[in-house]
Structure 1
Amino acid sequence: MIRAVFLAHSGFLVELPSVTLLFDWWKGDLPPLRPGVPLLVFASHRHEDHFRPDIFALDDGSRPVWFLLGKDIRLTARNRARWQLSSQTAEKCLCLAGGQQAEPLPGIRVETLPSTDEGVAFLVAADEKTIYHAGDLNWWHWEGEEPAWNRDMEVRFQRYLEPLRRRHIDLAMVPLDPRLGDACGWGLAYFLDLTQTRRVLPMHQWEDVSPTERFCRDHPALAPCVVPIAKNGETFIFEEAE
């Protein structure tokens, strides 16, 4: 079973039997964490809508904790002082660039992909499940940008996703950003065509659910695996038999 809570924007709490995964939490109420169950805290990059230093306070001794951070979240002496990050907690931080792998706990593998913005995307294998969180890895196509810039973004996005070709993913969290207008769903559609993904929770929607509705209407063949999110704090439970 997978239990996922949408916190806000791109923030999710994902519970697997043996581990809890917290992705890009900067806003929204964090539900009570299971006591004693290991916690992996992910921050894809330094943008304030994906990372806040408060996450380090989760290392409170009530459970094993590791922090997996995009490489652009720099643990300099100045930042550690500003964030009140102790040396003990800093030792539990892994700063990862795209294309790296880590095993923070036995039986749990984390892979990273480069991002078309900053930081990384995460692919987590645990409890015979594979969980993907894109961070800001997306097909960013902005009206008004130079055609060469938009073309470069397309090429980089497709190249960075290539390691996921035909990969089975049980739960993915992928941007569906309304600011992109007609290009809003390009990244998600490409991701679903490339991978073998069972379920997607759209994110980075800026509290606007209309992109999900539009995507499902425009892509009826892909719509069955897209799970609409109605509000912050919404909980989803995905059973094995589904």
Structure 2
Amino acid sequence: MKLTYIYHSGFFLEMERVDLLFDYYQGELPDRDRERPLVVFASHRHPDHFSRKIFKLADDYSRVYYVLSDDISKSQVPPALRERCFFVGPHEDVRPEIPGVDMRIRTLESNDEGVAFIVETEGKKIYHAGDLNNWWWDDGTPEDRDLEARYRAELQRIDGENFDVAFVPVDPRITGWWKGMEDFLDHCSGDVLVPIHGFGDHSMPARLRSRMERKGNEENKKKLLDVEHPGQQWEL
């Protein structure tokens, strides 16, 4: 697999036979084989996760398909592309009909908007959280505790699972910026851990790595990607 960081929560993952694009709304896409199938995921309608510009990809790529959270209005989709779109809600388990692609998609319910994705294809399992996170804003207000409880309840649904790649929010704006990743690792594991939702603040992976070091979490520290700049690529 080859992974490219686009911006914020947007990442491009090249598999052996299919390419996956998650939560793209701005930034430059890598050069790719335009004959390969491309599956574009949008976890919810927030403008930092979804833009109608994703539909312009069909101008250049004939084999592009879309998996969209059902909080995104179908009216956003150009009529000519609606048969290539699959809308999913929370707690679904679907196998979209994409020619030449065998793919299973499960969803969790975000405690903000939309869904988180679990994508299985080519023997790999990928988790993209979207806006499902421990949104601990204000040092433990009742709202914070409710968001935390809802987050942990969703993680319980995938308790014990391992992911080849896991995209987990590490948001610099919130007081408990590390909580989402630590809760995730209390329930699941990932061969590669990718901090997302940084709004261009590329200090967050180093801050998380430092926290892991202080806690003696050497195993997960080695799995953490240092997301430093748009266009950065990794061979996984």
Q: TM-score, normalised by structure 1?
A: 0.89
Deviations 1:71-122 (A, max 9, x none): 110113xx45xxxx1x230111111111012212352111111101101111
Matched, 1:59 2:51: no
Partner of 1:107: 102
Partner of 1:126: 121
Q: In the aligned structure 2, how far is the partner of 1:210 from the partner of 1:191? A: 20
Measured after TM superposition, the shift of residue 57 of structure 1 is: 1.6
Q: In the aligned structure 1, how far is the partner of 2:202 from the partner of 2:84? A: 36
Unpaired runs of at least 5, structure 1: none
Measured after TM superposition, the shift of residue 37 of structure 1 is: 1.1
Q: In the aligned structure 1, how far is the partner of 2:71 from the partner of 2:118? A: 18
Q: Where in structure 2 are the equivalents of 1:11-22 lying within 5 Å?
A: 11-22=10-21
Q: In the aligned structure 1, how far is the partner of 2:129 from the partner of 2:193? A: 11
Partner of 1:98: 90
Q: In the aligned structure 1, how far is the partner of 2:63 from the partner of 2:230? A: 27
Sequence identity (%): 35
Partner of 2:230: 232
Unpaired runs of at least 5, structure 2: none
Q: In the aligned structure 2, how far is the partner of 1:195 from the partner of 1:63? A: 36
Aligned residues: 228
Q: In the aligned structure 1, how far is the partner of 2:235 from the partner of 2:182? A: 24
Of residues 181, 201, 206 in structure 2, which corresponds to 1:213? 206
Q: TM-score, normalised by structure 2?
A: 0.92
Partner of 2:133: 138
Aligned-pair Cα RMSD in Å: 1.5
Measured after TM superposition, the shift of residue 61 of structure 1 is: 6.7
Deviations 1:171-220 (A, max 9, x none): 11111001113x10011011122112111111111221222212111123
- Decide whether aligned partners of structure 1 residues 125 and 118 sit closer, same or farther in structure 2, where only a CA change above 3 A counts: same
